[in-house]
Amino acid sequence: MAAAAPAPRRRTPRWTECPLAEVRRYLEPGPVVLVGSAWKGRADLMAMGWHTVMEFTPSLLGCVISRANHSHGLVRRSRECTINIPEAHWVDAVVGVGNCSGAEVDKFERFGFTAEPAREVGAPLVGECFVQIECRVVDTRLVNRYDFFVLEAVRARVDRSVRRPQTLHYRGGGEFMLSGPHIGRRALFAPGML
Ligand SMILES: Cc1cc2nc3c(=O)[nH]c(=O)nc-3n(C[C@H](O)[C@H](O)[C@H](O)COP(=O)(O)O)c2cc1C
């Protein structure tokens, strides 16, 4: 398997607020994300590949957070979380986060991620991630049956110092794809489909 790109030197981030209807531009390609959560002073982090855009406005996202995960209880009780997109060079730390439980370890400390305060929710943002989305749980009807949470993005920001982000896409079995070249077909789209 091709190695992920080496970690660049730590840049000075240039944060820009992201219009909520544009959150889909980052999540629609299906990158592996890190979910930040917190409840009663305990924060956690988990890796997630099973998420989907559900609507642009309001900006709705769906995701599966297994009840076997410590994060499940934190998100369920607080009704909040953050969705953070890491670049591909974080792959080893992302795998680490996805292979232990926040009930036993402080994953921020162990894997070198920085918990930063969010503006609209109590869950932590992940400082190293170039997209940070603050979410509230707006529908829990599918949680009991499928561990499926419906979230609304209530604030998002993007680090514009990251020019051509390469993201991780999980294939199962310990294998990832990395995002590749971009191609544009805007001219072929009906205006209402863009
Ligand atoms: C790449 C990757 C993707 C994952 N995607 C999901 C997912 O979508 N939903 C889920 O419930 N668990 C997923 N997991 C598993 C959790 O991240 C893992 O169980 C984690 O250790 C849970 O942490 P917690 O117990 O602290 O919440 C994934 C793991 C990896 C490595």
For residue 161, the number of C-alpha atoms closer than 13 Å in the C-beta half-sphere is: 11
Ligand 1 centroid, distance to 120 Cα (angstroms): 24
Ligand 1 centroid, distance to 190 Cα (angstroms): 37
Q: For 172-193, how does the pLDDT look when each residue is reduced to its tens digit (9 = 90+)?
A: 999 999 999 999 999 999 999 9
Q: For 101-113, how does the pLDDT look when each residue is reduced to its tens digit (9 = 90+)?
A: 999 999 999 999 9
**What integer pLDDT is reported at residue 11 of this predicted model?**
75
Classify domain 15-178 by CATH number.
Answer: 2.30.110.10
Per the CB < 8 A criterion, the answer to whether 89 and 53 are in contact is no
Atom of ligand 1 nearest to the CA of 63: 8
**What integer pLDDT is reported at residue 148 of this predicted model?**
98
Interstrand relation of 33-39 and 80-85 (parallel, antiparallel or unpaired) = antiparallel
Per the CB < 8 A criterion, the answer to whether 48 and 33 are in contact is yes
Ligand 1 centroid, distance to 186 Cα (angstroms): 35
Banded pLDDT at 7 (limits 50, 70, 90): low
Ligand 1 contact via 101 beta carbon (within 6 Å)? yes
Atom of ligand 1 nearest to the CA of 102: 26
Ligand 1 centroid, distance to 76 Cα (angstroms): 16
C-alpha 20: how far from chain center: 14
**What integer pLDDT is reported at residue 3 of this predicted model?**
59
- For atom 6 of ligand 1, the residue with the nearest CA is 48
Q: What is the mean pLDDT of residues 132-141?
A: 98
Query: CA-CA distance, 80 to 138, in Å (whole number)?
Result: 9
Q: For 46-68, how does the pLDDT look when each residue is reduced to its tens digit (9 = 90+)?
A: 999 999 999 999 999 999 999 99
Q: What is the mean pLDDT of residues 140-164?
A: 97
To test the ligand 1 pocket, which listed residue (37, 46, 94) has its Cβ within 8 A of the most ligand atoms?
A: 46
Atom of ligand 1 nearest to the CA of 48: 5
Ligand 1 centroid, distance to 111 Cα (angstroms): 15
The residues, any chain, with a CB within 8 Å of residue 33's CB and separated by 6 or more, are 27, 47, 48, 49, 51, 83, 84, 85, 86
Percent of the chain residues topping a pLDDT of 70:
95
Ligand 1 centroid, distance to 98 Cα (angstroms): 5
**What integer pLDDT is reported at residue 10 of this predicted model?**
63
Give domain limits for the chain: 15-178
Ligand 1 contact via 65 beta carbon (within 6 Å)? yes
